């Protein structure tokens, strides 16, 4: 189950407000883990 922080990070990343690294930090994940999370949610990686 996604946490509120993860959903916020996903949304802000998708809108281009945060970089992948910033969004990963906000979500409490490493960059690699967050990139895999993006793929799970069908969000393309910009980096």
pLDDT per residue as tens digits for the range 38-47: 999 999 998 6
Asked, for residue 46, whether it belongs to a domain, the answer is no
Q: What is the pLDDT of residues 1-47, one digit of tens each?
A: 468 899 999 999 999 999 999 999 999 999 999 999 999 999 999 86
Which residue in the block uniquely carries the two structure tokens 């922080």? 5
Residue 45 lies in a domain: no
**HSE (CB half, 13 Å, CA atoms) of 33?**
10
Predicted local distance difference test score (pLDDT) of residue 2: 65
Total count of residues recorded for the chain? 47
Burial of 19 (0-12, 13-18, 19+ CB in 10 A): middle
- 47 in any annotated domain: no
Residue 18 covered by a domain: yes
What is the residue range of 27's domain?
4-40
SS3 category, 8: helix
Q: Whole-prediction pTM value?
A: 0.88
Overall domain count for the chain: 1
């Amino acid at each position: 189950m996604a946490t509120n922080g993860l959903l916020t990070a996903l949304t802000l990343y998708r809108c281009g407000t945060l970089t992948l690294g910033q969004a990963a930090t906000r979500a409490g994940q490493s960059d690699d883990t967050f990139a895999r999370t993006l793929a799970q949610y069908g969000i393309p990686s910009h980096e």
